[in-house]
Amino acid sequence: MVHIMIVDDNLEALRVIERGLKIAGHRTTKAASGEEALKHLQHSGKKIDLMLTDYTMPKMNGLELLKTAKGISPLLPVIIMTAYSEKRMVIEAMLNSCNGFIEKPFTYEELMTEITRIIC
Domain count across the chain: 1
Q: What 3-state class would DSSP assign to 80? A: strand
Closest CA to 102 of 84, 89, 77: 84
What CATH number has the domain bearing residue 98?
Answer: 3.40.50.2300
> 69 near 78, Cβ under 8 Å?
yes
Q: Looking at the predicted structure, is the pLDDT value of residue 109 above 80?
A: yes
Task: Map residue 45 onto helix, strand or coil.
Answer: coil
* Residues forming beta bridges with residue 100, ordered by sequence position: 79
DSSP at 48: P
The per-residue pLDDT for range 2-46, each reduced to its tens digit, is 999 999 999 999 999 999 999 999 999 999 999 999 999 998 778
Helices 62-72, 87-95: crossing angle, 10 deg rounding = 0
Q: Which residue has better confidence, 79 or 90? A: 79
Residues 41-74: pLDDT tens digits? 998 778 999 999 999 999 999 999 999 999 999 9
Range of the domain at 9: 3-119
